Amino acid sequence: MKNLLKSTLAIVAVLVAFTSCNNGAKSGKNSGALANNVAEKVYVAPGEHDEFYAFISGGFSGQLSVYGLPSGRLFKVIPVFSQDAEKAYGYNEETKPMLNTSHGFVPWDDAHHPDISQTKGVIDGRWVFINGNNTPRIAKIDLSTFETTEIIEIPNSAGNHSSSFVTENTEYVVAGTRFSVPIPQKDMPINEYKGNFKGSLTFISVDSEHGNMDIKFQLIMPGFDYDLSHPGRGKSHGWFFFSTYNTEEASTLMEVNASQNDKDFIAAVNWKKIEEYVNNGGGTMMTTNYAHNVYDESTHMATSTMKKEVLTVNPLDVPGAVYLMPTPKSPHGCDVDPTGEYIVGSGKLSANLTVHSFTKMLAAIENESFAGDAYGIPIIEFEASLAGVVEQPGLGPLHTEFDDKGNAYTTFFISSEVVKWKVGTWEVLDRQPCYYSVGHLMIPGGNSQKPFGKYVVAMNKITKDRYLPTGPEVTQSAQLYDISGDKMELLLDFPTIGEPHYAAGCPADLIKPRSKKIFNLEDNKHPYAAKSEADTKVVRDGKTVHIYMTTIRSHFAPDNIEGIKVGDKVYFHVTNLEQDYDVPHGISMIGANTSELLIMPGQTETFLWEPKQEGVWPFYCTDFCSALHQEMQGYVRVSAANANTPLKWSLGEDIE
């Protein structure tokens, strides 16, 4: 009895403590899992699936991460621009060519802005594109395999930042340079930048069936910094909008010198017009050098081709194709609403948001309401294209996304918040703090005609005290808000890899049914595949040895190899004979100067081993594959360089 009383008291005390905590919480009555059913809203029960996929850029990790929403669970890190020892990407012989560039093998990049392919202005879930910022590249990830299948280098570009956004039928994926440079590159004094450096805006055509990328043309623009871009859609389909800063064309002490002009520009590019010009033979072919790397799913191999020329277009040669819309204070985000009517410029040093009207822009062009020109490109009068201004919504606006109810959501880096406002009336409706210093935000389908306005993900630049500390370097972080009601509600913090710059999301059902389970062994066209154990062999060609090996639960064939010599180059070509879902095998060799292989069912991968010492050296399966995984091992006998040990291979000779 006494005990019962005690425990009741204890429970009451705890409850009181929790309740009072909630009342005292800084972000008001809606925070905290106990105040209402916030926890339930992000809870995805064991074995259940999330409603949305989110592809979140891995920033300076160079990769693309795949999350589920609303749970914030990480499913996969897709290697894109950086080597990944876990998956052998960039380490195995098949994928090394993916990271080839005109500068040679570049094993890293800074991945920024994923964008999912679209059909008729709606996300179709076939591919996701992402840009490598540092050594300008655009990658395409196939969403049936969740693997990077194509990377194209962008010549005449530097700091490939206003990328990689797609037009509404994925006609083009667009890559704009952030830094202007001499085009073509040449040795010249830096302080002669002004008027001499140029900025390239690259339109990469995407084959509608296979997704193959090809640079259609490069627009060679004045030497500004092209920061971000978005396609027109609906009524503005056929146009593309790029934000600019450093219209001062400064090359040093940029934080001061690039902030002198009261207004920079949003460049409006009528790509349909330029496409027509180019299709009719317009443009100038320029000699250049860039890599085009394509992964072939049937050979499980990538090839890298160096391309030697690119078609350039001078905007002055295509009258009516390019205009500049003045936009206050170094605009960063350049976001187009689902109707295609409004283009929101987030002047990052301005207190206001500037919204341009596409209709008014066309009228201004029609009426020639120009305030002048920049290197011959017409500058539209500021008031002429202006639709409205969101007054003083916060400090340091960066990016805007849209829901399906006519609302816009803008991030403010300096005041660290997401602000919801009404498109058309420009009134501020709600604001929620971010922890801390938010950069981009993402609503699934946000960059399309059909957003799914249930959640917004805010991607933060600073985390500080939000998680358990891990030394000076703390986790990167995103936050999930419920935006289905009038007021936004913070639901969840979750860690991310690298620095999450931007993300693209869509309903899981768009992708889930098409996700590949295995590679069909019969379709494997790898030149070194062994498609059954009968095909396994070891072939010597001078000092090069090719091992055609297979794996299946739970053995390698062959698993005993003799006659390898010090100084040989030994290629292990390993085919996974499994044809069942989720049965990969790994393989690693002691002392190999590379990563393991991780081979999916039906796939062939290759690693190179250069034995340096005589002896008998083991290899083993690195991915726990069955109850007999620990038995999945083998030996290679290495003899002296001048030995006569005959080349032999076997599996299970002494089995009864």
Interacting residues of 614 by C-beta distance below 8 A, sequence separation 6+: 566, 638, 639, 640
Show the DSSP H helices in 439-530 as ranges: none
**Smallest separation (angstroms) from another protein to the CB of 585:** 11
For another protein, which stretch binds (CB under 8 A), given 24-32, 205-213, 501-509, 517-525?
A: 517-525
Nearer to another protein, 628 or 640 (CB): 628
Nearer to another protein, 30 or 145 (CB): 145
Q: Which of 362, 553, 566, 623 binds another protein (CB under 8 A)?
A: 553
Tokens of 217: 């043309």
For residue 593, the tally of other CB atoms under 10 A from its CB is: 11
Return the number of the residue (329 or 555) whose C-beta is nearest another protein. Answer: 555
- Residue 578 CB, shortest distance to another protein, in Å, is 6
Give how far the C-alpha of residue 480 lies from the chain's centroid of Cα atoms, to the nearest Å: 19
Task: Show Cβ contacts of residue 487 under 8 Å, excluding neighbours closer than 6 positions.
Answer: 30, 430
DSSP states of 51-111: SEEEEEE-BTT--EEEEEETTTEEEEEE-SSS-BTTTTBTTSTTTGGGGEETTEE-----B
Locate 17 and state its tokens.
């403590």
Closest to another protein by CB, 176 vs 586, is 586
Q: 550, 594, 603, 622: which one contacts another protein (CB under 8 A)?
A: 550
Tokens 């919480």 belong to 25
Would you state the torsion angle of the CA atoms of residues 273, 129, 340, 390, taken in this order, to the nearest 10 degrees? -120
Tallying the residues shown for the chain, one arrives at 656
> Which segment (125-133, 161-169, 388-396, 551-559) binds another protein by CB under 8 A?
551-559
Q: Among 77, 269, 336, 521, which residue sits at the site for another protein (rule: CB under 8 A)?
A: 521
Choice between 256 and 628, CB closer to another protein = 628
**Contacts of 148 by beta carbon, 8 Å cutoff, 6+ apart:** 78, 79, 80, 89, 98, 139, 140, 141, 295
Residues 569-608 that bind another protein (CB under 8 A): 577-580, 583
Cα(397)–Cα(258) distance, integer angstroms: 18
* HSE-up (13 A, CA, CB side) for residue 189: 4
In angstroms, what is the minimal distance from the CB of 117 to another protein? 29
Q: Which is nearer to another protein, 297 or 381 (CB)?
A: 297
The contact pattern for another protein, residues 148-187, with x = CB under 8 A and - = no contact, is ----------------------------------------
Q: How far is the CB of 171 from another protein (least distance, A)?
A: 37
Residue 253 or 655 with smaller CB distance to another protein: 655
CA angle 267, 131, 482 (to 5 degrees): 85
Nearer to another protein, 174 or 583 (CB): 583
Helix (H, G, I), strand (E, B) or coil at 467: coil
- CA 263, CA 244: separation in Å to the nearest integer? 10
* Nearer of residues 275 and 578 to another protein, judged by Cβ: 578
Q: Which is nearer to another protein, 87 or 555 (by Cβ)?
A: 555
Residue 552, interface with another protein (CB under 8 A)?
yes
Contact map string, positions 623 to 642, toward another protein, x by CB under 8 A: ---xxx--------------
Cα–Cα distance measured from residue 326 to residue 364, given in angstroms and rounded to the nearest whole number:
13
Please choose, out of 163-171, 225-233, 467-475, 621-629, the segment that lies near another protein by the rule CB under 8 A.
621-629
The answer to whether residue 534 forms part of the interface with another protein (CB under 8 A) is: yes
The yes or no reply on residue 557 touching another protein (CB under 8 A) is: yes
C-alpha span between 41 and 162 (Å, rounded):
35
Q: Shortest gap between Cβ of 554 and another protein (angstroms)?
A: 6
Beta-carbon count within 10 A of 248 CB: 18
The window from 77-85, 239-247, 296-304, 526-534 that contacts another protein (CB under 8 A) reads 526-534
Number of chain residues interacting with another protein (CB under 8 A): 24
Site for another protein in 342-381 (CB under 8 A): none
Q: Applying CB under 8 A, which part among 73-81, 215-223, 527-535, 638-646 lies near another protein?
A: 527-535
Nearer to another protein (CB atom), residue 363 or residue 518:
518
Q: Minimum distance from CB of 115 to another protein (Å)?
A: 34
Rule CB under 8 A: is residue 531 a binding residue for another protein? yes
Q: Which of 430, 493, 533, 610 binds another protein (CB under 8 A)?
A: 533
Q: 434 or 529, CB closer to another protein?
A: 529
Binding track over 466-505 against another protein, x by CB under 8 A: ----------------------------------------
What's the gap between Cα 366 and its chain centre?
38
Distances (CA, A) of 461 to 26, 228, 469: 21, 18, 16
Binding-site member from 522, 523, 653, 654 for another protein (CB under 8 A) = 522
Q: How far apart are CB 240 and another protein at their closest, in Å?
A: 45
- For the CB of residue 410, give the shortest distance to another protein in the complex, in Å: 49
What is the CB neighbour count within 10 angstroms for residue 629? 17
Q: Cα(428)–Cα(191) distance, rounded to whole angstroms?
A: 44
Q: Any residues with CB less than 8 A from the CB of 198 and at least 6 apart, and which?
A: 156, 180, 181, 182, 183, 220, 221, 222, 223
- Whether the bond between 558 and the residue before it is cis, its omega within 30 degrees of 0, is yes
For residue 56, give Cα distances in angstroms to 67, 68, 76, 77, 221: 7, 10, 11, 9, 30
Q: Which is nearer to another protein, 519 or 572 (CB)?
A: 519
656 near another protein, judged by CB under 8 A: yes
Query: Which residues are near another protein by CB under 8 A?
Result: 518, 521-522, 531-534, 550, 552-555, 557, 577-580, 583, 626-628, 652, 655-656
